[in-house]
Structure 1
Amino acid sequence: MSNPACRPVPTLAFDIDARLRTINIERMRHERLARFRAELSKLDVAGALLADPINIRYATDARNMAVWSLHSVARYAFVPTDGPVVLFEMGSTQHVTRGLSTLVELRPSTPWTFMIAMDRIDEKCATWADEIVDLVRVHGAGNHRIAVDRCEPLGIQFLVDRGLTVVDAQQPIETARAIKTDDEIASMQLVMDVCDEGVRRMRAALVPGITENQLWSVLHETNIAHDGEWIECRLLTSGPRTNPWYQECGTRVIQAGDIVGFDTDMVGPLGYVADISRTWVCPGKQPSDRQRHLYEIAQEQLRYNISLLRSGVAFREFSEKTWNIPERYVPQRYLSPVHGVGLVDEYPVVPYPQDFAAWGSDGVFVKNMVVSVESYIGEVGGLDGVKLEEQVLITDDGAVPMSGFPLYDAIEGGC
């Protein structure tokens, strides 16, 4: 058995601390909070109660066990439209977020989910609700409306019984998150550079005999080594498992000539996402004509739809003009041709024209939005399929790809 101590230490692609110093993180924190508060003011609420760790991160930049708290609500924040931000942290972890300039006060939280409160839920929920209501009374200037992003039904009932009117917080915070500040754009480019490095290492590691899980782990390792945080999905598949899309990676051994497709969904440094997809053919066998054809069509769809994007284009107009998918690929088309990205996948999601009546909403692409443009090409019952995706920055002159990793043109044999 090999000695783990002899395993080479993974090399860094660049000095991550030096790159972080080029971003004005303090300015970014306060600009994000100001954007969110502006949206709360439009909604005419006293403030927002945030339990989703992504929303807490955006409004306060407080980072603490984000993935765990996605399923266990033990920390939350009160963000008044005008007044001091209060973060409620689990008592033994308060030192993690103490000193953030966005926070005026740090208090111990009162978790009241069944896992923690058990048969004392009503008691703990009442304590929690009384504290929130008191904050609204003190800082709401007589306004008893509060925006809430995530809360169990019992908690909502306790707030309403105490005289608050509860509205949705996701709309104002998603609207705030949609347009990025200059520092956010720099942060997202840093994350994409880490992602590109991970994808380069995956490409080098792709050889016959490697499993899907082993290949996927290369991106995770690169991300964590460069101060990244987590990866949202396990979307890497090979061969027949690429059709239909949305199967997650497993123990399958990749063979020469297999198509290998993946979607990064990588939450990297500073909590921002890099969301691109690439599809390759495993070395050792040339791509088949069928694989080349699928790849050519996916590239055409992606590049055409990217060409439609620029500041001022309406969502409906974009949808109506999107590339016309050949009929045999329509049933397994991707969920949407484009969606917003930021800390994670975000507003807006613009559907295909055939789906617009059911799912479409009016809106406009605006300068400094960041979106991911999607393509999946694979027919029902097909041997495999091709997944491509590019993350782009919306400008007045068009959409600028943020990834430097090429799509690899299968027609030239590079797939």
Structure 2
Amino acid sequence: MRARRERALAVAQRLGADGVLAADVSTVAWLTGFETDIESGPSPFALPPLAVVTPDGPPLLVVSEDDAPRIPDDCRACLYAGGTVEELDPVGGAIRALELATDGRMLASEPSFLSTTLASVLRIVDATAELRLVRAVKDPDEIDLLQAAVELCDVGQAEARAHVLPGISEIELWARVRGAMEQAAGGRIPVLADLASGPRTAETGGAPGLRVLTDGDLVICDLVPRLQGYWGDSCATLEVGEPAASARSKHRLVADALERGIEAVRPGVVAGDLDQLVRAGLDYPHHTGHGLGTSWHEEPRVVPGGRTRLEPGMALALEPGVYDGDGGVRLEQVVVVTEGGCTILSNHSLEL
């Protein structure tokens, strides 16, 4: 993590700042290891965490007292009152803590993640774009964490494949899939997902519902679990019963597109060019791919016109698809850019 902090401080130095004020929760996690609870939503007792990183010492987290037990060992904290029997004032508490933590220094920050009230007491320069790009290149320990998260995806995909049967509902299937991933993780984890069947697959996916699977259904299973602060991602399309000829045809188109993309990944490739190569002959309404890390969608964005050049250490989830009135097919694998091409982290079946 020290190397990540040094790279962030180099950004601050180039911008004439004394340090970094991380305001995007994904950047906070990247610099400190402090994870935000995504399931409870915005807290009524506290603002999102902030982190001050300077050359002078360990990072300083600005969080409520409720979060004190979760502060990493190599970080300090500037705390304010959280859940209390007194009158709640998370904004005022955060401002006072932030003023102490920043001590009037000019800091490179991410102002779009700060309220105008907080920003008004700070001296900041916008480093959002620069920090996103340095976050995109992963250190070796980050790649290990991504691999572990992707292995949870493999567990979930295997569980889905084992239970895609007529008579099971989407939500029942999802309960099995999530349970298998959490069993493998050893506890509760945040998980995002598309798990949609039949005609719902034509709309690219969606959250699991009460629809019951029947013979001939396609099922899109896109799993995005977070483990130790890093997100995995994977997608398979499954068939209930024997695949129809139309499903096999769509599946082959998507599998070929994914293979084209993986073969083309190497340093220097422009994200928009990669999108064009994979998208050729297909007409899907979403991105071709995206970066993975402490956010489940980050740079590089593989979209039309994307300008980021791939570099060794970047992690990409590539996910082309085909969607029509008979249903949709999407396949996704995670790769890491290497000096000579890429390494595939995913190991789940892509068969129908």
Give the conservation status (yes or no) of the 8 Å contact 1:64–1:96: no
Of the three residues 27, 40, 47, the one matched with 1:74 is 47
CA deviations on 1:265-319 (whole Å, 9 max, x unpaired) are 1212x12111111001013xx2111111111111111111221111121234334
Superposition pairs for residues 382-401 of structure 1, below 5 Å? 382-401=325-344
Superposition pairs for residues 6-25 of structure 1, below 5 Å? none
SS in 2 for 1:257: coil
Runs of 5+ unmatched residues, structure 1:
1-28, 409-414
Superposition pairs for residues 241-390 of structure 1, below 5 Å? 241-268=200-227, 270-283=228-241, 286-326=242-282, 330=283, 333-343=284-294, 344-352=296-304, 356=305, 360=306, 362-379=307-324, 382-390=325-333
Pairwise CA distance, 1:349? 0.8
Of the three residues 50, 55, 80, the one matched with 1:109 is 80
SS in 1 for 2:52: strand
CA deviations on 1:143-166 (whole Å, 9 max, x unpaired) are 36654462223322x32xxxx444
| Distance change >3 Å, CA 91–CA 258, structure 1 → 2 | same
Of the three residues 79, 102, 110, the one matched with 1:136 is 102
Of the three residues 17, 22, 26, the one matched with 1:45 is 17
Matched pairs, number = 348
- Counterpart of 1:63 in structure 2 is 35
Give the conservation status (yes or no) of the 8 Å contact 1:212–1:254: yes
Pairwise CA distance, 1:175? 1.9
State the AA in 2 paired with 1:150.
F
Distance 2:67 2:148 in 1: 28
Give the conservation status (yes or no) of the 8 Å contact 2:291–2:298: yes
C-alpha RMSD of the superposition: 2.8
- Counterpart of 2:141 in structure 1 is 183
| Distance change >3 Å, CA 351–CA 92, structure 1 → 2 | closer
Superposition pairs for residues 229-240 of structure 1, below 5 Å? 230-240=189-199
Pairwise CA distance, 1:239? 0.6
| Distance change >3 Å, CA 229–CA 55, structure 1 → 2 | farther
| Distance change >3 Å, CA 395–CA 296, structure 1 → 2 | same
Distance 2:168 2:78 in 1: 49
Percent pairwise identity: 22
Distance 1:205 1:216 in 2: 10
Give the conservation status (yes or no) of the 8 Å contact 1:195–1:219: no
Give the conservation status (yes or no) of the 8 Å contact 2:78–2:97: no
Give the conservation status (yes or no) of the 8 Å contact 2:269–2:310: yes
Greater helix share, structure number: 1
Q: TM-score, normalised by structure 1?
A: 0.75
SS in 1 for 2:335: strand
Give the conservation status (yes or no) of the 8 Å contact 2:301–2:308: no
Q: Which has the larger radius of gyration?
A: 1
| Distance change >3 Å, CA 71–CA 92, structure 1 → 2 | closer
| Distance change >3 Å, CA 224–CA 52, structure 1 → 2 | farther
1:95 matches 2:82: no
SS in 2 for 1:265: strand
Distance 2:40 2:23 in 1: 12
Runs of 5+ unmatched residues, structure 2:
none
CA deviations on 1:344-395 (whole Å, 9 max, x unpaired) are 221111213xxx2xxx3x321001111011111013xx12110111111111
